[in-house]
Amino acid sequence: MRGLRLLPWPGPDGQRCYLSADEEEGGYLSRLADDMEEAQLATGEEVLAHAVELLRNPGVTPPGELRFCVRRLSEALRDALRIAESRGGRTAR
């Protein structure tokens, strides 16, 4: 048994979801997880670029927009950390 892959989405109650690595590497769920990880990282890059733009104009950006951006940055960081944990677990084998 090769272990479990941490998936990039939570379960219905927010718990971690895993895919048995015994499943075919190129299986449907594995490909779906790869695609979702790619989308999450791309979104993180977009949010980061937007945050950099907001920070270039201090005092001009409305507080609500800054709060929204910080919320999105925290979501992107959470996703990136989950992806790093998942990939780290797979390369350790």
66: Cβ contacts below 8 Å, ≥ 6 apart: 54
Residue 84: predicted pLDDT:
95
Residue 42: predicted pLDDT:
98
Q: What is the C-alpha separation between 48 and 58, in angstroms, rounded?
A: 16
β-bridge partners, 6: 18
25: Cβ contacts below 8 Å, ≥ 6 apart: none
**How many domains, in total, are found in the chain?**
1
pTM: 0.83
Residue 54: predicted pLDDT:
92
Q: Torsion over CA of 81, 85, 86 and 90, rounded to 10 degrees?
A: 150
Q: Per-residue pLDDT for 1 more than 60?
A: no
Average confidence (pLDDT) over 10-29: 83
Segment 28-85, tens digit of pLDDT: 898 999 999 999 999 999 999 999 999 998 889 899 999 999 999 999 999 999 999 9
Range of the domain at 75: 4-91
**DSSP state, 64?**
H
Q: Tokens for 4?
A: 């479990």
Q: Which residue, chain included where needed, has tokens 């895919």?
A: 19
